[in-house]
Amino acid sequence: MPAGTPKQMALVETQDLVKNYVLGGETVRAVDGVSLSIDRGEYVAIMGASGSGKSTFMNMIGCLDIPTSGEVRIDDIATGDRDGDALAELRNQKIGFVFQQFNLLARTTALDNVAVPLIYAGLGSEERRAKAKAKLGEMGLGDRLDHSPAKLSGGQQQRVAIARALVTDPVILLADEPTGALDSKTSEDIMQIFQTLNDQGITIIVVTHEAEIADQAKRRIEFRDGKVIEDVMIKKRRQTSA
């Protein structure tokens, strides 16, 4: 490494990020000039009232949505210059998504659901099966491989979705209200999984309304009207049980 190495490269970096929606001639500034940087290994909770722009922000750093202006860099890659296919590849290799509504394919087994990203990574069917099976095993679903979503509980479905998000070994896990559709007991299981994943070194960015999740994160970012109004490191970590 050359001498005088600059500060560690940020994993996610946004610069004056803006997203406007035009509705009936009126412009809504959903995200209004957000500049921040998230490092490798962080566990970030994004909070804020409904409509404050959290999801819009997440979708842009997840390269699902195109900013009106400003820039998103993922792992030092400027996303603005990339076309749709290049962004698809970036999502496939570097980003895992967990959605509030799980978004599993209906009438498709847990194993096949988890293997979907590997299809687009170009893996052969044997390799896809092996990897998907291993990830489901890690999520404690080794005995549910052939179950379709309809035969799984909400918590189990979300664990399938997490396995799917992680199966390509991404550097970031983006979760938009992952426990929003779950009861509090199941939510705790999911939180536990997130904690373990972060301990293993995966960077996690999670949008949540729940204080418990926010407490377990290392950093909290608060949105209001499309702007960041608070961005704090949480020093003391809650005791992790078990």
Partner 1 sequence: MIGNLGQKASGWIVNIAIAMTALRTNLMRSILTTLGVMIGVFAVTLAVAVGSGAQVSVMQSINALGSNMALVFPQPDTGEGGRRSFDRGRLTMRDARAIEKQISGIDDIAPQLRTNIQLIVAGRNASTNAVGTTPGYGKVSNLVAASGRFISEADVRSAARVVVLGPSVVTKLFGDYDPVGETVRINRAPFKVIGVLESKGSSFGNDNDDIAIMPITTTRQRFSGDTLAGPDDLQMLFVGFEDGVSLPTAKREITKLLRDRYRVRGKDINPFTIRTTEEFMKESAQVTGIFQIVLVAIASISLLVGGIGIMNIMLVSVTERTREIGLRMALGAKRSDIRNQFLVEAAVLCVIGGAMGLIFAIAGGTALTVYADFPVPIGVGVGIGAIIFSAFIGLLFGGYPAVRASRLSPIEALRSE
Ligand X SMILES: Nc1ncnc2c1ncn2[C@@H]1O[C@H](COP(=O)(O)OP(=O)(O)O)[C@@H](O)[C@H]1O
208 belongs to the binding site for ligand X (CB under 6 A) = no
Nearer to partner 1, 4 or 124 (CB): 124
Q: Which stretch binds ligand X (CB under 6 A): 5-13, 44-52, 137-145, 214-222?
A: 44-52
Binding partner of residue 23 among ligand X, Mg ion, partner 1, none, CB under 5 to 8 Å per kind? ligand X
57 belongs to the binding site for partner 1 (CB under 8 A) = no
Q: Which of 62, 67, 155, 178 binds partner 1 (CB under 8 A)?
A: 62
150 belongs to the binding site for partner 1 (CB under 8 A) = no
Rounded alpha-carbon distances, angstroms, from residue 75 to 8, 108, 170, 181: 11, 33, 11, 31
Nearer to partner 1, 58 or 214 (CB): 58
CB of 202 to ligand X, least distance (A): 23
Count of alpha carbons within 13 angstroms of residue 177, beta-carbon side = 15
For binding to Mg ion (CB under 5 A), which residues are involved? 55
Distance between CA atoms of residues 182 and 139, nearest Å: 17
164 belongs to the binding site for partner 1 (CB under 8 A) = yes
CB of 41 to Mg ion, least distance (A): 25
CB of 230 to partner 1, least distance (A): 26
Pairing of strands 12-23, 172-176: unpaired
Binding partner of residue 230 among ligand X, Mg ion, partner 1, none, CB under 5 to 8 Å per kind? none
Q: Which of 93, 100, 148, 192 binds partner 1 (CB under 8 A)?
A: 93
Residues 47-66 that bind ligand X (CB under 6 A): 48, 50-56
Residues 7-46 that bind partner 1 (CB under 8 A): none
Residues lying near partner 1 in the complex (CB under 8 A): 59, 62, 64-66, 84-85, 88-89, 91-93, 97, 99, 103, 105, 107-108, 116-117, 119-125, 164, 168
